[in-house]
């Protein structure tokens, strides 16, 4: 995160101070800053829900953490958040990248179709619920029900997980280094392939995470039709 801090200091003169401003104003200021320089730095906005929602381009640095729904519907922007975030981080992201230096609250990364979400601290219950293609990386522990009804994408947990990990998993992969309290319905433990190892190694290198693919267990779905329909 040193490089991130240096980058923040470099552009701090353009900083958007969110104190006392409403969501519409702050998000419009972020869009304007991105239009002008490709970069926006935001501070004192942790009370806002939906900060930096719906961005297609740009680098956004958020100081001091963020509230609920930060980075919702992200569609290509890179968000770097210094501090903790509240609930529903990156809701329904389809592409782009969001990095959080602290912890994420309840249900980080729900309903995402794509993009990378990297949480360097812990992440709460129901993270990556109904994931349909994004990659969630959590450097420490995750809560219960993580990856519930995931249909595609990847979850990588470097720490431990709570109850019902991957509950009603349909497709996609969960890679976990630590222990889990229980696995969810319709899950199986599988062997990492060479592609899996390559994928994980690239992630660890990109985000400078201290981990080796061989340390991980892979969890997959038993079947992609656990409800009414059955395979022919």
Partner 1 sequence: MPILGAYCVNIDYERCTHCGTCVEVCPYNVYEKDENYHVHIGNDMACVGCRICMEFCPNNATHIKSAEPEANSRSLWTFPIVEQIHHQARTGGYLLRGFGTARRIPHFDDLVIVPSQLSSPPPLDKYREDCDVSVVIGEETADSPLILKIPIIFGAMSFGALSREAKMALARAACRMGTLANTGEGGTVPEEYPLAHGFNTMEELMACTNPGNGFGNGGYLAVQWSTGRWGVSLDFLQNADAIEVKIGQGAKPGMGGHLLGQKVGEEVAKVRGIPIGTDALSPPRYYDVLTSDDLRKQIAILRDVTDYKIPIMMKLGPSRPYKDVKLAAELGADAISIDGMAGGTGASPESVTQHAGIPTIACIPPAAKALKDLGLYRKVKLIALGGIRGGADAFKALALGADAVGIGAAAEIAMGCRACMACHLGNCPYGITTNKPELRARLDPVETGEHLANFLKAMTDEIKIFTMLSGHKSIKELSREDLRALTIDASAITGVKLVGSEKNTFRN
Least distance from partner 1 to the Cβ atom of residue 219, Å: 17
Residue ranges in contact with partner 1 by CB under 8 A: 23-24, 27, 49-50, 53-54, 56, 68-69, 72-73, 75, 87-88, 91-92, 94, 106-107, 110-111, 113, 126, 129-130, 132-133, 148-149, 151-152, 170-171, 224-225, 227-229, 231
Which residue, 24 or 208, has its beta carbon nearer to partner 1? 24
Which lies closer to partner 1 via its Cβ, residue 8 or residue 112?
Answer: 112
Minimum distance, C-beta of residue 152 to partner 1, in the bound complex (Å) = 7
Q: Which residues contact 45 (CB under 8 A, 6 or more apart)?
A: 16, 18, 19, 21, 26, 51, 62, 64, 66, 67
Nearest to 126 by CA among 72, 162, 157: 162
- Sheet with 116-119, strands from edge to edge, namely 16-17, 39-43, 59-62, 75-81, 95-100, 116-119, 132-138, 152-157, 173-176, 217-221, 187-190
Q: How far is the CB of 227 from partner 1 (least distance, A)?
A: 4
The Cα–Cα gap between 125 and 19 comes to 30
For partner 1, the closer of residues 97 and 158 by Cβ is 97
Considering the complex, state which of residue 68 and residue 141 has its C-beta at the smaller distance from partner 1: 68
How many whole angstroms separate alpha carbon 193 and alpha carbon 96? 26
What's the closest the beta carbon of residue 7 comes to partner 1, in angstroms? 26
């Amino acid at each position: 995160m040193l490089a991130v801090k240096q980058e923040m200091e470099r552009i701090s003169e353009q900083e958007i101070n969110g104190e006392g401003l409403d969501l519409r104003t702050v998000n419009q200021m972020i869009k304007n800053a991105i239009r002008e320089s490709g970069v926006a730095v935001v501070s004192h906005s942790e009370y806002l829900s939906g900060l930096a929602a719906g961005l297609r381009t740009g680098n956004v640095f958020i100081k001091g953490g963020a509230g609920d729904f930060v980075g919702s519907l992200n569609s290509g922007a890179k968000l770097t958040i210094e501090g903790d975030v509240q609930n529903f981080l990156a809701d329904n992201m389809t592409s782009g990248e969001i990095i959080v230096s602290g912890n994420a609250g309840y249900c980080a990364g729900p309903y995402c179709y794509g993009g990378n979400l990297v949480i360097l601290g812990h992440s709460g219950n129901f993270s990556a619920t109904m994931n349909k293609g994004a990659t969630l990386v959590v450097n420490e522990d995750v809560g219960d029900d993580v990856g519930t009804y995931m249909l595609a994408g990847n979850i990588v947990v470097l720490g431990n997980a709570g109850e019902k990990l991957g509950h009603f998993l349909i497709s996609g992969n969960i890679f976990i280094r630590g222990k889990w309290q229980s696995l969810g319905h319709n899950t199986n433990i599988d062997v990492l392939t060479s592609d899996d190892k390559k994928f994980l190694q690239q992630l660890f290198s990109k985000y400078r995470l201290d981990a080796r693919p061989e340390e991980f267990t892979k969890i997959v779905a038993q079947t992609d039709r656990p409800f009414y329909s059955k395979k022919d």
